[in-house]
Structure 1
Amino acid sequence: MTDAHRVSERAGAAVEGSGRTPNGGNVMHKRVWFLAAAAVVAVLALASSAAAMRTTASSQPATAAQSAFANAFAANSTPAARQANSTVNFAMEQDAGGFNLANIDFTGAWAAYFGETPVIRGDYMIGEKGQYILDLASKVVATKHYLKITIRKNANWNWIGHKPFPVTAADYIYTWKQIVTPGNNVASTVGYDQITRAKVHGKKQVTFYWKKPFADYKDLFGYIYPKKALAGQSFNTFWSDCVCGYPDKNPISDGPFYLSSWTPGAGLILKANTKWFGAKPHLKTIIGKLYTAQSSEINAMKAGEVDAIAPGQPITSMHDLLTQNGVKHSIKPGFTQEHIDVEFGSAGSGAGGTHSDNAAYLLKKNWFNQALAMGLNRQPVINAVYSGVLDPGTVKPLNNPFYTVGKLATAKKYQYFKKFNYAPAKAIALLKKHGCTGGPSSTFVCQGHKAEINFYTTTAPARCAISMPGWVQQEAAIGIKLDTHCYAAQPDFFTNLLPTGNFDLAEYAFTGTPDPSGWDAIYQCVGKTTGGQNYKNYCNKKVDKLIRLGDKELNPKKRTADYETAAKLVSTNVAIIPLYARPSFLFYNGKIKGMGTSNNPTSEGPLWTAQSWKWSG
């Protein structure tokens, strides 16, 4: 469960689906999930059929699907009903988009939280403190020459309507081959491309041999495919609407729950898998309820319509939940990086966006991007984003593009982007030094190109209504005009726009894991097997070399040095403008036991302990 640095967007984390064709992220090797702000996700649907089916026009009339979902949710609309039915309702901020999370088109955070973490397991689970916990694997041995994995003896696939069958070495080899097969729409092959061959030692053990050692081996095989259930299927299309076997499309799982159904635009439902290898789930059902507005999500929590919410971005009404009787909360530093992508690619239009000719010229100039960064006063905007929820200054500007928490991010020597902190006079002087005229009282014209930039983000209130107006005002003061566009997270922003590169600037968030290699595919030059989530088309061969060195370096200190040097270069190049590391929020019904440790700020998300949730009282 560690592969893919998820680009998610929780109401407000990178963390919604996209598709560069290739999460960029090393899908299956720590991808970054798009977090879509209070936007879509799946929810409920108590389907009578065993199949985990996408209840759309392809399977039944949309109105019937919506009606079935509404009826299912209505039957569990009160805490008393849910306790009686052993059900938990969880608010979701982003629709799934698809469930093959190794596919670059399906990198949504909430698809991962519901369709991966509790359903499809991997070697390790990343805990709420960033610790790696053996999960599907009972033992992992890594050397300079090989990676040996021993699979739990009692790990089985539960394919509804079929007899359970074991998770085997053949599944691991199938997974590896799917990731490295040319033509498969994977986000990245990082790590997997260093494997040359595999050797099976019985059904429950496999050894992979390295071309070069891969230091972040714990983030490989975080998501294992069931070979038998996917026989004959195309990687680019399977699991687009289910986590299932073929051809019957019945649900399949080796985790504590299986995905029973998904109704796009409405919801999704998980059912307990009592045949998995771990502790049996206490709940029978988990219903995800999609809320397209964060205020609605919070109101639903206040009213007892849902039992838990994990809002990605704050709004003032969250403050009421901090003191509401019967509601508990957890707030932790997070591995989610809110940032602004700077597009370095060629001019173009499409998918509702435009990378303008002016921006295509100016954003390739490092001096312009430095001025752009120095025009942003991040701290007061961050304070405004968290106003009424956290004290001013609690969340500080992020000055490292690879690390979000801990001393590797916050120690003075690692704050590489700090040199571009707010300095409007310096920014104006820099623009004038390079021939910009006409500003700052009006928009500068620089070397024949007007400093007018298209700026895109999601409709999350924290972005569209708070941060974006702040950035616009600040940049106008130094003679740069931002033309703003707010799009629905899914599918408009993450799936349709972002992968095309048809933007000048784009604010969103990435959610990853503790290891920095999850950022490889975000900063590597775009190639056949690299840069899968590099939607900004940034390219620096020195950064690529440092990433390659870090990927194979087994000495932790030397490896950190490689990645920190890469981080310094990325900062100097202003490949992105890091804004802040988002705190991770979880509010939950105090009668639900087992949620005290569920606030997992990594890419695993809040359902990582779902099997331990149970009603009490």
Structure 2
Amino acid sequence: MGSSSMTRSSLFPAIAVLALAGAACPAAAQELKIGLASEPTSIDPHFHNLGPNNGIRRHIFEGLVSTDDRQTLVPGLAASWRSIDEKTWEFKLRPGVTFSDGRPFTAKDVVYTLCRVPTVENSPSSFTFAVRGIEAIETPDPLTLIFRTATPVPLLPNNFSTLGILSAAAYGGEDVVYGAKGCEKLGTPPKSVEFNEPAKAIGTGPYKLASYTRGTSIVLERNEGYWGAKPHWKTVTWRPMASQGPRVASLLAGDVDLVENPPIQDFARIKGAGFTIVQGISNRVIYLAMDQFRGDPNWKTPGVRGTDKNPFLDHKVREAVSTAINRQAIVERIMGGVAQAAGELLPVPLFGTSPEMKPDRFDADGARKLLAAAGYPNGFEVTLGTPNDRYINDEKVAQAVAQMLGRIGIKTSVDSMTASTFFTRRNKGDFSLYLAGWGADSGEMSNSLVSLVATPNPATGMGPTNRGRYSNPEVDALIVKARGTVDDKAREDLLRQASRLAMRDYAVIPLHFEVTPWAFKKGLAYKPRIDQYTLAMEVTPAQ
């Protein structure tokens, strides 16, 4: 594999693991029960580029490329890959791999998958970025793929790590022919809802779907024909438990074996009951986004009162919002120290980050002066939208932000709701100011920049999650140039420039990086992942 096919997250220092004694767990247990902090929005691997979806996807639908706990690229369904030249990549597939229905996995399934991705309807956050730019695909034999791109795509292996591979035969696409502007003989691509049925959720992964009852459970059964190492657990039952109290109660009562994101305030109680807690830094930034749409002179930003203008179009107002926030106080008081204040969209030393990009210094007096200079000496009112069950202490963080903004004259009310409702409303443009999070699947800066700050453009795949509609042509140009630069050093320098410019422009306002905890009963072991995924195949009996 060429140097451009690897991320650098293996450099990241581990955060200490808290290991504690607990109740016995028989090594021969066949079922693992997991309490989910946030439920996937679909079993469809291509519907929603969202952490819970991507985590479940890896159990059923594997990618050509996978990632380890530090987001370093490792072989998946592709045994190897290499860049032949700046616009040509060769991938060699693993022999002997079959789908869960017994059909063999071949290059045709990869072609079918890449053709299906753009057909997904109503995707809240699309995967089209992963297939864009591929001009032609050659399959000289069933286990070889040659991708030719219109321009250099140095992150093609990273992109492929995000895509679960579907069976072409399962959906009548055996004769598909790839086309950059539309595939031929694709058949009728599956609708997202079809993947809720076990008979249609056909993948190559270590598990297969046994049942899915939205809001209640996702049950996976071990794929006995899996090509790789067999997972320890025959059955894995995932139970959505958005509320922290019931999640912890279920763990303590023995109803589940492991829970995601136990609340920091309950750590002592969990430890006192004899359970194990592990935690590690994540790639997830919690940030504020502001409506910066300039495309329609008649657009009136929602949720702002006390002014006829959109105040967030003024750089001074955006800077005032950032400097009004005491990030360290949020880390210490709301997050219990289990977080890291953020100055950009990824933590150092992940690829494209800059050590000098420190969090803005808290300065309430300076923030008030900035507001006055922007023409808001008496401030204004705004509603802050936030999920209340998606990120660690998300509603509490939003309430703290609202109080801090109120002290500089921005009277802020919080509108909190479940994640599913929040994302629907956010995507419709209901909020002038909202709190959300982003985890970079690729473990490098272009993922965050493309998704969150690039000017939204469905034709190029830029800005799919830039719901504040920030736009800066200079930032866009740097991102585009970086995405076409194969040389690692030059690409990283471009990403650093783009990140610095976007952060100094307050494209979005980073608050902190989550440190992710897991709690589980004695006799189990789990290594924290920087991508925050809970992977059942990596939960093992303790040694």
**What is aligned with 2:341?**
397
* Alignment-mate amino acid for residue 425 of structure 1: D
How many angstroms does 1:126 deviate by? 1.2
Q: 1:452 to 1:356 in 2, by over 3 A?
A: closer
1:192 to 95, 112, 131: 131
Q: Distance in 2 between matches of 1:147 and 1:109?
A: 28
CA gap 1:398/1:582 in 2 versus in 1, 3 angstroms: same
SS in 2 for 1:277: coil
**How far apart, CA to CA, are the structure 2 residues paired with 1:435 and 1:385?**
32
- 1:431-580 correspondence to structure 2 within 5 Å: 431-437=371-377, 439=378, 444=379, 451-460=380-389, 463=393, 466-489=396-419, 491-494=420-423, 496-513=424-441, 514-519=443-448, 520-528=450-458, 529-580=461-512
- Distance in 2 of aligned mates of 1:334 and 1:182: 29
Does residue 148 (structure 1) correspond to residue 90 (structure 2)? The answer is yes
Q: CA deviation at 1:502?
A: 1.1
Instruction: After superposition, give the CA deviation of every residue in 1:416-455 in whole Å (9 maximum; x if it has no partner).
Output: xx4x421111111122223323x3xxxx2xxxxxx11110
Distance 1:482 1:97, change over 3 A: same
DSSP 3-state at the match of 1:474 = helix
Deviation sequence 1:136-163 (CA, Å, 0-9, x none): 111111231311111110211112xxxx
Match of 1:319 in 2: 268
Alignment of 1:261-272 (within 5 A): 261-272=211-222
The reply on whether 1:611 has 2:537 as its aligned counterpart is: yes
The answer to whether the 8 Å contact 2:526/2:539 transfers is: no
Closer/same/farther in 2, CA of residues 409 and 428 from structure 1, 3 Å limit: farther
1:512 aligned partner, one-letter code: A
CA contact (8 A) 2:81 2:92 kept: yes
1:381 to 310, 320, 330: 330
CA distance in 2, matches of 1:409, 1:93: 30
More displaced, 521-530 or 182-191? Answer: 182-191
| Distance change >3 Å, CA 359–CA 132, structure 1 → 2 | farther
* Equivalent residue in structure 1 for 2:113, among 152, 171, 175: 175
2:37 counterpart of 1:93? yes
Provide the residue aligned with 1:430 in structure 2: 370
Is there any run of 5+ residues in structure 2 with no aligned partner, and where?
Answer: 1-22, 173-185
Give, as a single letter, the amino acid of the residue that structure 2 aligns with 1:171.
D
Instruction: Report the CA distance shift for 1:220/1:563 in structure 2 as closer, same or farther (over 3 A).
Output: same
Q: Is the 2:349–2:355 Cα contact (8 Å) retained in structure 1?
A: no
Question: Out of 124, 137, 141, which is 1:202 matched to?
Answer: 141
Q: Distance in 2 between matches of 1:208 and 1:130?
A: 23
CA contact (8 A) 1:244 1:252 kept: no
What is the aligned partner in structure 2 of residue 413 from structure 1? 356
Taking the aligned partners of 1:380 and 1:211, their CA distance within structure 2 comes to 48
In 2: Cα distance, 1:395 partner to 1:613 partner: 24
Following superposition, the deviation at residue 535 of structure 1 comes to: 1.4
Secondary structure, in 3 states, of the residue corresponding to 1:562? helix
What is the distance in 1 between the residues matched to 2:404 and 2:303? Answer: 22
TM-score with structure 1 setting the length: 0.74
Aligned counterpart, 1:225 = 166
Distance in 2 (alpha carbons) for counterparts of 1:552 and 1:575: 23
Q: Which secondary structure does the structure 1 equivalent of 2:60 belong to?
A: coil
Query: Contact 1:337–1:580 at 8 Å: present in 2 too?
Result: yes
TM-aligned CA distance change 1:136 to 1:341, over 3 Å: same
Give the CA deviation at 1:83: 7.1
Tell me the CA shift for residue 197 of structure 1: 0.5
Q: Which deviates the most, 82-91 or 302-311?
A: 82-91
Whether 2:229 is the aligned partner of 1:279: answer yes
C-alpha distance in 2 between matches for 1:297 and 1:197:
48
Contact 1:382 1:467 survives alignment (8 Å): no
Aligned to 1:133: 74
- Report if the CA contact (8 A) 1:242-1:262 is conserved: no
Post-superposition shift, 1:465? 5.2
Alpha-carbon RMSD across the aligned residues, in angstroms, is 2.9
Could you say if the C-alpha distance between residues 407 and 184 of structure 1 is closer, same or farther in structure 2, counting changes exceeding 3 Å? closer
Identity %: 17
Give the alignment partner of residue 248 of structure 2, picking from 292, 298, 312.
Answer: 298
Asked if 1:111 is matched to 2:60, the reply is no
**Are the equivalent residues in 2 in contact too, given 1:126–1:602 (CA < 8 A)?**
no
1:272-319 Cα distance to aligned partner (Å, 9 max, x none): 0011110122221000112131121112212222111121x7330123
Structure-to-structure mapping, 1:207-218, within 5 angstroms:
207-218=146-157
Answer whether contact 1:381 1:466 (CA < 8 A) is retained: no
Cα distance in structure 2, aligned partners of 1:421 and 1:336: 21
> How many residues matched?
496
Give the residue type in structure 1 aligned to 2:356.
K
Residue of structure 2 in register with 1:600 after alignment: 529
Partner residue in 2 for 1:61: none
Distance 1:472 1:611, change over 3 A: closer
Residues of 2 paired with 1:97 and 1:82: CA distance? 33
Aligned residue identity for 1:122: G
Alpha-carbon distance in structure 2 between the residues aligned to 1:280 and 1:501: 45
Indicate the larger mover: 265-274 or 128-137: 128-137
Q: CA deviation at 1:209?
A: 0.7
SS in 1 for 2:481: helix
| Matching residue's letter, 2:54 | A
C-alpha distance in structure 2 between counterparts of 1:302 and 1:331, whole Å: 19
Matched, 1:342 2:290: yes
Instruction: State whether residues 400 and 409 of structure 1, in contact with CA within 8 Å, keep that contact through their aligned partners in structure 2.
Output: no
Check whether the contact 1:543–1:566 (CA below 8 A) recurs between aligned residues: yes
State how far apart, in whole Å, the 1-side matches of 2:220 and 2:440 are.
24
Write the letter of the residue equivalent to 2:485.
E
Aligned-partner SS, 1:368: helix
Q: How much has 1:411 moved relative to structure 2?
A: 5.4
For residues 487 and 82 of structure 1, the distance between their equivalents in structure 2, rounded to whole angstroms, comes to 39
Determine the C-alpha separation between the residues in 1 that align with 2:49 and 2:148: 28
Q: CA deviation at 1:134?
A: 0.6
**2:316 matched to 1:367?**
yes
TM-score of the superposition, structure 2-length normalised?
0.84
Instruction: Please point out which of 226, 238, 250 is paired with 2:191.
Output: 238
1:244, distance to aligned residue in structure 2 (A): 5.7
Letter in 2 for 1:436: Y
> Shift of residue 499 of structure 1?
1.0
The alpha-carbon distance between structure 1 residues 96 and 577, as it changes in their structure 2 partners (threshold 3 A), is same
- Once the two structures are overlaid, the 10-residue window that deviates more, 183-192 or 569-578, is 183-192
CA deviation after TM superposition for structure 1 residue 462, in Å: 5.5
Unaligned 5+ segments in structure 1 are: 1-78, 445-450
- 2:178 is matched with none
**Deviations along 1:544-587, whole A, 9 cap, x unmatched?**
11111111211111111111111112112212110111012122
Question: 1:33: which partner in 2?
Answer: none
Report the Cα distance in structure 1 between the residues aligned to 2:212 and 2:399, rounded to whole angstroms.
36
| Change in 2 beyond 3 A, CA 1:335/1:580 | same
Q: 583, 586, 597: which is aligned to 2:515?
A: 583
Task: Call closer, same or farther: CA 1:455–1:199 in 2, change over 3 Å.
Answer: same
SS at match of 1:201: strand
Residues in 2 aligned to 1:102 and 1:504: alpha-carbon distance in whole angstroms: 28
Q: Residue 59 of structure 1 aligns with which residue? A: none
